[in-house]
Chains A and B, each alone.
Chain A
């Protein structure tokens, strides 16, 4: 077996949030300083993803999944530990963000693309593909603030899916849009899986989606790795863990 190269390597990554970081002048001068509380969102996470792999991240709400993804995308760097992307380009796809509200969809495609590190020419070549894939019709020339939430995420998905960065980070996007678009984006994701060069990390709560797409699953619990391994095993354990709580609610 040929050993594949790693595309992403995380070494002992910790990410903290300081609560009470946002101050006003009155608070500062008139009150005794309240101690900044530190909340550890991600604690000592170490893993690596091979080139061409699809990693799914699963876990309860507030277990640090999105934080981890943002930090891999470079939105903020970890408080300690290292994230090595081996020089790959990376893009984060998440719900309803990343647009300037007053600008048209077309304009937003170009701006988002430029922020992802593409040149204006490259994007203009691809922009027709993006518009076709997003299938939002004449809305592409209207300001983004007039979009419905479905159109919003369709456009967001299309931009990241068509502008091909080496690493794609997907944050709960697959469950939006109408049934038809969902199938289309699932197919697109599968197409990307067959691409040997493309590395994908998906955050989702949907066990079935992850089982279908991923070849490795990471279970994050309270900011720490609970399990990492083959989808079947990890997802089964996760489902078993979640079952009693779901049962409680149903009763």
Chain B
């Protein structure tokens, strides 16, 4: 017991340090190592203490040697997750010393590069779509058939077998699958994207996020085809359509931005870490079940967690909102949408900066 009461304070800083040194990928001397671990120790334990206090534990009378096992486990889990997150954020932003001048320079460069390479991205996306059509037997029909069949499978599985029917269940599921597919294809594709385009990357300079941007346009087009199917389904199922259906435009826009943001960050790590695609695969599968592609998160998961999970997970939030505005004629939650929009812009910003700083060495690694 004595050992665990000491260990619970140290596991998180140790993990944080490991993440830190893995991300920085460079040698550090011992004093710096001790300093960094000490900083993590203080920050992580302070934050976890604060959270414990907030959850109703009186930390003033708390004794590490007599506390329950359950609290220890929670403490370790909470602080370790925080440790991974905080060290990752620290490495991404502060420690690399992004200066104000750099922010200005990269922002200007981002805008001019976007303008310069946008026609290429569009053309490449068109060409990819065309190639997909000419190389398959049923050509563009697949864009309709694939999501449609998925919808049938899920409708039967969850509607009949598990008895989880919502109103307009097939459309409900179809919206979920379509939007989730866009996200998951974008994110899992981004990990491999630099390697997949090595013939271009090794011959000519282009900002590497353009590759992702072009791919997202391909996926986006497929998503629009699926939405055409949704429109037909709305008619078939006689859904009462209200003016709030127009809100789907900002919803799709934010979905695009958040996918681009997450993808551009992962794309950078995908170049260096060979086995990242396994991790993203596992995480995405886990996230799929938390995102409610075939059930309503807020309704199905018991009260304090359901609504929180829905708001804390951008894709779940967007899918739920999309169903609300399209199927049930409800108003949009602008406040949270705006928050997620800001977050996704921040993510894009981080991703694009990271790419600009490191893309120089991508060619040498792949």
Contacts and interface: CB of A to CB of B under 8 A. Distances in A.
Interface of A: 17-18, 21-26, 28-29, 33, 35-36, 70, 73-77, 91-92, 94, 97-104, 107, 110-111, 114-116, 119-120, 143
Interface residues of B, number: 37
Given A107-B130, A111-B120, 4 more contacts: A21-B25, A33-B21, A76-B361, A103-B128
B205 A24 contact: no
A143 B202 contact: no
A73 B123 contact: no
Contacts of B365: 21-22
Contacts of B274: 22-24
Interface of B: 18, 21-22, 25-27, 119-120, 123-124, 127-128, 130-132, 134-135, 199-206, 272-276, 279, 360-365
A114 B119 contact: yes
B204 A143 contact: no
The 3 closest A-B pairs by CB, nearest first: A74-B205, A102-B131, A98-B203
Contacts of B134: 143
Given A73-B205, A111-B120, A98 B199 contact: yes
B18 A29 contact: yes
A97 B131 CA distance: 19
Contacts of A107: 127, 130-131
Contact of B119 (A97, A116, A119): A119
B90 to A, nearest CB: 17
Contacts of A21: 25, 272, 361, 364-365
A29 B199 CA distance: 32
Contacts of B276: 25
Contact of A102 (B135, B362, B363): B135
A115 B200 contact: yes
B363 A76 contact: yes
A121 to B, nearest CB: 11
Given A29-B18, A35-B27, A111-B120, A23 B203 contact: no
A110 B274 CA distance: 32
A33 to B, nearest CB: 7
A25 B279 contact: yes
Contacts of B21: 33
A115 B120 contact: yes
Contacts of B275: 24-26
A120 B119 contact: yes
Contact of A115 (B130, B204, B360, B363): B204
B119 A24 contact: no
A75 to B, nearest CB: 6
A167 to B, nearest CB: 13
B123 A77 contact: no
A193 to B, nearest CB: 24
21 contacts: A21-B364, A22-B274, A23-B272, A24-B275, A25-B22, A26-B275, A33-B21, A36-B25, A70-B363, A74-B204, A75-B201, A75-B203, A92-B203, A94-B203, A99-B199, A103-B127, A103-B128, A103-B131, A111-B127, A115-B200, A120-B123
A114 B273 CA distance: 31
Contact of B204 (A22, A25, A73): A73
